[in-house]
Amino acid sequence: MPYPAWLPFLLETPDLTHVSTPLELAQKEINLGLQALSAGIKGKVTCDPALPRDAYRIVKSEQTVQVHGGSCGVLYGTYEVLMALREERDFPEGLQTPQYPDRMVNCWDNMDGSIERGYAGKSLWFSGGRLQYDEQRILQLSRLLASVGINVICLNNVNVHEPAQDLIDLQLPDLSKLAALFRPFGIRLMISIDFSQPMRHDLSTADPLSHEVQAWWKNRVDLVYREIPDLYGFLVKADSEHRPGPFTYGRTHAEGANMLADALASHGGKLVWRCFVYNCTQDWRDRKTDRPCAAYDTYQPLDGQFRENVILQVKHGPFDFQVREPISPLLLSMQSTNLAMELQLAQEYTGQQIDLYTMVPMWKELFQVLPKDRLCAIAAVSNLGASDCFTGHPLALCNLFGYGKIAWNPSLASGDVVRSFVRLSYDFSQEDRESLTGCMLESRAIYEKYTANLGLCWMITPNQHYGPNPDGYEYQSWGTYHKADRNAVGIDRTGSGTGYTLQYPEALRELYANVASCPDELLLFFHRLPYTFVMRDGRTLMQRLYDDHFEGLARAEQLTKTLCALPFPERDRQEIQRRAALQVSNAREWCDIINTFFHRFSGIPDEMGRTIYD
């Protein structure tokens, strides 16, 4: 059953015979779309080689709408026309260009068909150790991605498990066929590679300074580009969570990345290097090492040492996609290096596509502190899988949609993005649309309230990352502690503590380091405070912990009630209702367990006399 998601008027996939460019595809799509929408106007698309690749301009006359665009922009403009018509809004005026030229999705698909941190079923393209897919579903997905301007997809897990090394080797011909499917949509492939791959081919080392290794990669890249001339490049997770990397050979990450970048350069390929290095075998007794410091400590000294075609891909926060983290100081400090910010659409710590969690408001907070031009690209870990709607929870599609929109234009308002998604996806009354939009816009705040408020992180069930387990990470090796005891909770990350705040530019450093100015939402991220600490609103820290959790649960109950009353099509209704029931029971567990956990420590009763289980 096709699932065209936010393009419900495009029920059939286009016939790609004789179609190999976005222009050719756009010509088909505009006709298909205008017909399906009964728009009563004609469409015309033309490519203007003078325009930047992704740019477009929409010109409307009485009977016709014209899209002039760059080689990819022509297709983006086409989808924009169709979506604007569906939304009954005006076409955007003037030349439209994206904020970031490269808007990437990273899929963590393994070749056995599983997906690391996947919550939407099996892989859409891997099975049994090889590329294997339903072509129609790939076309459907490509159309969704292109409609919001996503133009790079990394197909395989950054943790490169066998036989994924073969993607740039024995399985290259198959990969090339899949690249051809994505190509008319303006989507280029990227492949995660194994830094030690030369050693699978009779080399005794993967040392980036070895001439033999350099030659091996050069030759390998040449072979790859012979099959896929427009490959975007390689993505690398090195020296991170037990992956191989240049540290083995006493080399820096600049040396490691540059070696690969040199091999890619003549083909115009990019080398995307993830900055996710930290000590994952930390002793919990060690209070000097503070994991949030790790990325900055490792990479900041290398600023300026990377090749032109290297992009450092930095997670948005210093930990790992928690509900609330301050922005990574590394993103604010590498003045002479190409940076991409990494977001995570997969709801690893944020409800696993069971709990409703719409991310656009969260990303908007990042752009409030991140100068837009700091990045040359943006990336997001995929929330996709082979479930009917691609994302398990039908409303999790909004995170894919919103990601594309925000990656194109970070200035868009959250409400506008979500409202567009709702309007496009469902034939609801104005009232129901606003109701659903409201649910989605407040969903992150609600999840935060019942799970990890005030910047508390890592109270989630280890490994699985769903549901509460307040002490679960407390004695483990991941560097993820809250150090709650009978008096206080949190870690002092200011200059008098671990020094993490010193990594920030002055304004943020002051903001965060000062208890009086630190935002409530990050208070326990930066500070260790007694339960009796009086917050800005006059309540004690303990009371705020209780209040927020009770409020989060109550609002989750209300949210799911509202959601379940909406007239979703049968297709989505069952999935949404089933998940809503699970979300409420998850919220109840979080609320009661976190409250009990802190009550056992503090002994302080709830001022409102609500039930805290003992």
| Active-site residue set | 241, 320, 348
- Please report, as ranges, the residues that interact with a copy of itself according to CB under 8 A: 284-285, 287, 468-472, 475, 483-487, 589, 592-593, 596-597, 599-603, 613-614
- Least separation in angstroms between residue 162's CB and a copy of itself is 22
What are residue 381's phi and psi, to 5 degrees?
A: -70, 130
Q: Which is nearer to a copy of itself, 512 or 597 (CB)?
A: 597
Number of residues in the chain: 614
Q: Which is nearer to a copy of itself, 27 or 498 (CB)?
A: 498
Q: Which is nearer to a copy of itself, 429 or 585 (CB)?
A: 585
- For residue 315, list its beta bridge partners: 342
Q: Which is nearer to a copy of itself, 433 or 600 (CB)?
A: 600
Q: What's 86-148 look like in SS3?
A: HHCCCCCCCCECCCCCEEEEEEEECCCCCECCCCCCCCCCEECCEECCCHHHHHHHHHHHHHC
Cα separation values, 387 from 18, 116, 119, Å: 30, 15, 9
Instruction: Give the contacts of 97 (CB within 8 A, at least 6 positions apart).
Output: 52, 54, 55, 73
Q: Which is nearer to a copy of itself, 170 or 581 (CB)?
A: 581
CA angle, 314 as apex, 520 and 148 as ends, to 5°? 90
95: amino acid identity, one letter: L
Q: Which is nearer to a copy of itself, 82 or 459 (CB)?
A: 459
Number of helices (H) and strands (E) in the chain: give both, helices first.
Answer: 15, 15
d(CA 324, CA 317): 8
CA angle, 11 as apex, 10 and 15 as ends, to 5°? 85
Q: For residue 596, which of 557, 551, 554, 545 has the smallest C-alpha distance?
A: 545
Neighbours of 136 (CB within 10 A): 11
- Least separation in angstroms between residue 597's CB and a copy of itself is 8
d(CA 398, CA 404): 10
d(CA 614, CA 603): 10
Q: Which is nearer to a copy of itself, 317 or 479 (CB)?
A: 479
- Least separation in angstroms between residue 354's CB and a copy of itself is 18
Q: Which is nearer to a copy of itself, 390 or 597 (CB)?
A: 597
Instruction: Give the contacts of 400 (CB within 8 A, at least 6 positions apart).
Output: 105, 144, 145, 148, 345, 382, 383, 384, 390, 391
Q: Which is nearer to a copy of itself, 487 or 517 (CB)?
A: 487
- Burial string for 139-165 (b: 16+ CB within 10 Å, else e) reads bbbbbbbbbbbbbbbbbbbbbbeeebb
Q: Which is nearer to a copy of itself, 302 or 488 (CB)?
A: 488
- Least separation in angstroms between residue 475's CB and a copy of itself is 5
- Least separation in angstroms between residue 286's CB and a copy of itself is 9
Instruction: Give the contacts of 470 (CB within 8 A, at least 6 positions apart).
Output: 459, 482, 484, 593, 594, 597
d(CA 471, CA 598): 11
- Least separation in angstroms between residue 592's CB and a copy of itself is 7
- Least separation in angstroms between residue 445's CB and a copy of itself is 24
- Least separation in angstroms between residue 464's CB and a copy of itself is 11
Q: Which is nearer to a copy of itself, 249 or 601 (CB)?
A: 601
d(CA 196, CA 260): 12
Angle between helices 211-227 and 253-265 (to 10 degrees): 40
Residue the block writes with tokens 């070895």:
210
Q: For residue 192, which of 160, 152, 223, 214 has the smallest C-alpha distance?
A: 160
Dihedral angle, C-alpha 498, 499, 500, 506, nearest 10 °: 160
What are residue 365's phi and psi, to 5 degrees?
A: -60, -35
- Least separation in angstroms between residue 117's CB and a copy of itself is 20
Q: What's 26-78 look like in SS3?
A: HHHHHHHHHHHCCCCCEEEEEECCCCCCCCEEEEECCCEEEEEECCCHHHHHH
- Least separation in angstroms between residue 532's CB and a copy of itself is 14
Q: For residue 251, which of 279, 217, 213 has the smallest C-alpha distance?
A: 213
Cα separation values, 453 from 456, 459, 544, 552, Å: 6, 10, 9, 9
Q: Are 196 and 244 in contact (CB under 8 A)?
A: yes
